[in-house]
Structure 1
Amino acid sequence: MAATTKTENYKFNHSMLRVKDPKESVKFYKHLGMSLLQTLSFPEAKFDLYFLGYDSPGAVSHGKNIWDREGLIELTHNYGTESDPNYKINNGNVEPHRGFGHTCISVDNIQAACQRIEDAGYKFQKKLSDGKMRHIAFALDPDGYWVEIIGQKPVEETEEIKTTEVGTYRMNHTMLRVKDAEKSLKFYQEVMGMKLFRTHKAEQAGFNLYFLGYPGQKGVPGEGEGTSDREGLLELTWNYGTEKDEGFTYHDGNSEPQGFGHICVSVDNIEAACARFEELKVNWKKRLTDGRMKNVAFVLDPDGYWVEIVQNEAFSGKANF
């Protein structure tokens, strides 16, 4: 019988970011409450991978293998960048190289969480008190990537509480800017099997936000239900009118200057999943059979962002690496 694949088994596993100095970056994400779950070294290719995620007893994916999780951060370190004074990351938010926007954590007490980050000496792109939006902040990691901070409760309920428990945090979402919302929504829903959880329309500001994810055991949120308690969501940001500009493109993070690398979806059967993608006529960056690594594939989304496809070990029963 031919192998089959079901998109309801898929997980938005991780988002990959290139980093200059892994010691500093791992230290930062650990300060946000994440655990270093696994390190993969490829000395022959001169790079290391660091997988971080929330793993406290109350975490959504506590105790699972790394490919059976959602909401991980994969840090990629290419040997030598830490000692190169000219090496600088593209954080995805500076023209003309915009594309990837940010990762986002949700916290129990946004005021106390932001104060804790500031007390540790880390900088902010936007503090809670900056601008009109007093319910979100953006911290900066050591390479200048933006990390959005959102509260799991309304700010009014937590402003008098001075403590925060990192064991309650979630790696909530990853944001990508997209040129054509209709094409991107079609791709992530019909090809990748995600569901649209909610839409935020900021018509006066000229943009929409779309939050997608895999329903898993919790299912698709009902009307009025929040998504701050979730992990592994994808936020697509569409600025009105970009789809009408033929020459408009976003930076995919993999052409120079590099920064963000890819998002990754783990699947129940990688051969069957890739056969399905082939039938759907996806654009490939790397098929399973290409190159030396026969256990990963990369699909291109409508904006050219890379989507890594990897086997969920919970289904295969054997290690990927």
Structure 2
Amino acid sequence: MQGSIRAVRSFARQFRTMSVEKIYYPRKVQTAASDASLTLNHTSFRIKDPKVSVPFYEKHFGMQLLQKLEFPELQRDFYVLSFPKNVESLENGAPGIFNLSGTLHLAHSHGTENDAGYRPNNGNEEPHRGFGHICFSVADLPKECERLEAEGVAFKKRMSDGRQKNIAFALDPDGYWIELIQYNLPDTEPVDLGPKFNHTMLRVKDATKSLEFYQNVLGMTLLEVSEHANAKFTLYFLGYPAADERLKREGILELTHNWGTEDDADFAYHNGNTEPEGYSHMCVSLSDPAPLCADIEETYPDLEWEMRYNRGSIKNLAVLRDPDGYRIEVLPKSWSL
């Protein structure tokens, strides 16, 4: 009970602080605040060999390959994976993969599978830390870990390691971390909803600045705050409104703030898109991005865009950067090649 009270007080203290310190992106982008179609659609990172990585996620985690997006002019393909779900077809017959939440896009640049020296940056090694992990939530964590170990999956952290006994970290073929958590809490009736692609974690330099960006610019809601005073870091969970409890849903963004980085003028996280490359981007999809992008440009004209909406070589797409330089795609739910 005392732990619950402390958690609520910590959340209230953090929320009050953030409410007072809105100094970077103080104005809400009204289109983002009012558009109920906004979805955190996917996370993308680079892989060495799709013939290794795709079967890994299919065999060991039960994900399904929904589509292969081919960009021959870029010498790059994206393998779109998801846990089993209903996927509606678009008018052109293509699967509506951008109408979903919780999909994983594995980005493959042609030829890396034949390069003995190629190794994606997993985002967790100095001096190139930034992206942290993806997280799958399951019904029975001990059972899941036992099965994965029996199948030969490598672990960065087992449940028995360290202080946190309710999480584990598996490793994919490229060394990316996959956090494993359980959505059935103690003293609750257990349910089996199947695995969920619960969240993606990014490290951020300035929590206030990043929280304002994701809430006021992109219209996300702060779902939960978890403060770890002993280790001097705080976790912030954000997402778009949904009926499910946080641990049982998909499409969540976790921002990790290590205290004090905001006061170091020279400090910066690696965004994954400069050498050594690894993490690529996350994507927000919605019914019509044009009004949203126009509203963002008008409200915050100095915001950094890598590609403004519908003005690049790939149509009906925008790419902007968050305060730490992480890429965010914005595209319509009806998008297809």
TM-score, normalisation: structure 2:
0.84
2:78 counterpart residue number: 49
Identity %: 47
Give the CA deviation at 1:274. Answer: 1.2
| 1:289–1:157 distance in 2 versus 1, CA, 3 Å | closer
Higher mean C-alpha displacement, 78-87 vs 289-298: 289-298
Once residues 105 and 227 of structure 1 are traced to their aligned partners in structure 2, the CA distance between those partners, rounded to angstroms, is: 12
Residue 118 of structure 1: CA displacement?
1.4
SS at match of 2:126: coil
- In the alignment, what sits opposite 1:291? 312
CA distance in 2, matches of 1:279, 1:267: 19
1:231 to 226, 250, 256: 250
Question: Is the CA contact (8 Å cut-off) linking 1:270 and 1:311 kept in structure 2?
Answer: yes
CA distance in 2, matches of 1:7, 1:183: 22
Give CA-to-partner distance per residue, 1:258-277, whole Å, 9 cap, x none.
00001100022121121112
Corresponding residue for residue 63 of structure 2:
34
Rounded Cα–Cα distance in structure 1 between residues aligned with 2:178 and 2:56: 11
Matches within 5 A, 1:1-321: 6-30=34-58, 31-56=60-85, 62-64=86-88, 65-154=96-185, 168-216=194-242, 218=243, 226-281=245-300, 282-313=303-334, 319-321=335-337
Q: Report the Cα offset of residue 8 of structure 1.
A: 2.3
Q: Deviations over 1:222-253 (max 9, x none)?
A: xxxx5110100000000111000000000000
Q: Report runs of 4+ in structure 1 exceeding 4 Å deviation.
A: 155-158
- Give the structure-1-normalised TM-score: 0.88
- RMSD (Å) for aligned C-alpha atoms: 2.0
Find the aligned partners of 1:193 and 1:23 in 2 and give their Cα distance.
37
- The answer to whether the 8 Å contact 1:8/1:193 transfers is no
SS in 2 for 1:150: strand
Q: 1:37, 1:147 → 2: CA distance?
A: 20
> Which stretch of structure 1 is more off in the superposition, 230-239 or 23-32?
23-32
Contact kept, 8 Å, 1:37 with 1:51, in 2: the verdict is yes
> Secondary structure at 1:8's aligned position in 2?
coil
SS of residue matched to 1:238? strand
Instruction: Note the residue ranges of structure 1 that are not aligned, 5 or more in a row.
Output: 57-61, 314-318
Separation in structure 1 between the aligned mates of residue 35 and residue 263 of structure 2, nearest angstrom: 32
Any conservation in 2 of the 1:93–1:101 contact (CA below 8 Å)? yes
Ranges in structure 2 where 5+ consecutive residues have no aligned partner: 1-30, 89-95
